[in-house]
Structure 1
Amino acid sequence: MSNSTQSAALPRTAMIGVGSMGGAILAGLRAPGVEIELPIAVTARSVSSAAAFEGADDVVAYAGESDPDANRHAVRGAGLVILAVKPWTVAEAARGIADALEPGAIVVSVAAGVPSSAIEAELPEGVAVVRAMPNTPSHIGRGVTGIAGGASAGEEAVATVRRLFETVGEVLVVREDQINDVAAVSGSGPAYVYLYAEHMIAAARRLGFDADQARLLVQQTIAGAAELMVRSDDEPEQLRRNVTSPKGTTERAVEVLQAADWGDLFDRALAANVRRSEELERGE
């Protein structure tokens, strides 16, 4: 959870969908010390998924499988509504709850490639739309989320959504035209780190370490280096130099890696990511 102080309690909240990311956000909202008007209303597709919340005093769950109006029931009385559904179903979900929303409600979308204007078109006037791009470390309270208000969202709505995502990590407020870039850097970023880990583990195996040894060496190196970077006032470049003695072994390895032109590689990878978000916005 962010160290930022929450200045006001979050309003009663409804969550449409409690899959992987929705579940992470819900866990943050239920964490000790979070001030939020209860209960939190959630909707799940199946009766069995909704049954997982039976007996909870802070959550009321509705199952779409048995109740076609589950989403509408969930959003009634909610000042904050989170659309945690697949991108191609966001507009439909917004349309389905439009006439059940409270006046002045804030609707948050965590879907990539769906502009706020497409959601606003389905909702009544006076409802604010804010887009958010969290990442998977939100599951352990170490996420980073980019948020951007749509044309309908004022500073107060954005501030409320900021407090929401501070329950699962750090928050960066950006313009909406930067959200695809946030998705490319931090939204997809964990996958890049895991890809690096895959290749480092494979290389360690080729040096002769067994699977457990290779995983331990790489996992703890990445975790420790990341934590050191978080705690240090030094820039990553300086932290790298701290490890790289002149004419030493690290320097030789870094020279090989830099010869592969990582700058260009990352530029092309992020550009491909952004292009795909733009394609999704066009319905491709």
Structure 2
Amino acid sequence: MSNLSISSPLAGVKLCFYGAGSMAEAILRGLVEASLTDSKNIAVMNRQNAERLLELERSYGVIPASTDELKHEALSASDVIVLSMKPKDAAAAIKALAPLLRPEQLIVSVIAGLSISTIHQLLGRGQPVVRTMPNTSSTIGLGATGISYSESVNASQRELALAMFGAIGLTAVVEEPLIEAVNGVSGSGPAYVYYLMEAMIESGIQLGLTPEAAKDLTVQTVRGAAEMVFATGENPAELRRKVTSPNGTTEAAIATLDRYAFREGMNKAILRCAERAREMGDAIREEAVKG
């Protein structure tokens, strides 16, 4: 084990990922590649796809919990349980988890819409809970994650959560009601950018570029624009003004976007995303009430 992992808040901490999809993989990959913990301290489990667990074991050296006995053992032994199952499976899974938990175990949720109060309701007690909203760019270590804490999360657990998500990108601690806003802006944000890129590529092809050239030029343009904001620290609006000459080509393009209510459409899209996250959370809460 490296010196980095020895000094990490996660050194010696046992983690269990309940759900083994792309977000779970992104987080555990970040932890392993940054040497924040030994891969043998990480267990992964899901409902029934044992092959997926073996795939993660082969790739990262984590422990597959593929039988009921191994699942029970992984959950009971862990210090941190990361809830990363599909939202539709969350209520039943969390209820089943309740009898296995020790009071000091930390629950970390990456499930869209799932509130801390609903988790507490499903568990029947005020377990320490960290609610997060990462995004898919976490898979390449450039994620953006919003983080909120329940009242029972202590200082070392906060540090642990920040180290976990710091391994896959930027973190922002926010009050829990703002997690839906994080979902709208950055949680689903990569998809908005991909959608813009699709349109840019299609337009380039319509103007006569080859698909390959249209794609390469679009990718580099978006990458360069993001890097300019990051490297200069300037506001995007100011950078836009700098490249928008009066009566020039860029001004003509921006004016056309304005005529098609580009900004209004983006705003409504983000608000609807946040609203949909709340709806998904409400559905999980209704499942909790039924139980």
Q: TM-score, normalised by structure 2?
A: 0.87
1:175 is displaced (CA, Å) by 1.0
Q: Quote the residue 2:259 is aligned against.
A: 259
Deviation readout 1:222-263 (Å, 9 max, x if unpaired) = 111111211112111121122222332212212222233333
TM alignment of 1:198-209, pairs within 5 A:
198-209=198-209
**Pair 1:93–1:24, CA change in 2 (3 A):** same
Alignment of 1:84 onto 2:87: no
1:71 is displaced (CA, Å) by 3.1
**Is 1:13–1:37's contact at 8 Å kept on the other side of the alignment?**
no
SS in 1 for 2:131: strand
- Selected match of 1:31 from 13, 30, 33: 33
Q: Quote the residue 1:47 is aligned against.
A: 50
TM alignment of 1:129-148, pairs within 5 A:
129-148=129-148
Give, as a single letter, the amino acid of the residue that structure 2 aligns with 1:177.
P
% identical aligned pairs: 35
- Which whole-Å CA distance do the structure 2 matches of 1:156 and 1:60 have between them? 25
**Pair 1:259–1:54, CA change in 2 (3 A):** closer
**Pair 1:274–1:211, CA change in 2 (3 A):** same
**Is 1:15–1:81's contact at 8 Å kept on the other side of the alignment?**
yes
**Pair 1:40–1:217, CA change in 2 (3 A):** same
More deviation, 226-235/178-187: 226-235
Q: Quote the residue 2:93 is aligned against.
A: 93
- Which whole-Å CA distance do the structure 2 matches of 1:119 and 1:203 have between them? 46
- Which whole-Å CA distance do the structure 2 matches of 1:282 and 1:258 have between them? 35
Give, as a single letter, the amino acid of the residue that structure 1 aligns with 2:20.
V
SS in 1 for 2:274: helix
More deviation, 245-254/131-140: 245-254
Task: Identify which of structures 1 and 2 has the higher relative contact order when contacts are C-alpha pairs closer than 8 Å and 6+ apart.
Answer: 2
1:115 is displaced (CA, Å) by 1.2
1:165 is displaced (CA, Å) by 0.5
**Is 2:39–2:60's contact at 8 Å kept on the other side of the alignment?**
no
Q: Which runs of 5+ in 1 are unaligned?
A: 1-5
- Which whole-Å CA distance do the structure 2 matches of 1:124 and 1:251 have between them? 57
SS in 2 for 1:127: coil
- Which whole-Å CA distance do the structure 1 matches of 2:110 and 2:28 have between them? 13
Alignment of 1:279 onto 2:274: no
Q: Which runs of 5+ in 2 are unaligned?
A: 1-6, 287-291
- Selected match of 2:63 from 41, 60, 65: 60
Provide the aligned length of Structure 1 versus Structure 2.
Answer: 276
Higher share of residues assigned helix: 2
SS in 2 for 1:244: coil
Q: Quote the residue 1:9 is aligned against.
A: 10
1:155 is displaced (CA, Å) by 4.3
**Is 1:107–1:128's contact at 8 Å kept on the other side of the alignment?**
yes
Alignment of 1:20 onto 2:15: no
Q: Quote the residue 1:3 is aligned against.
A: none
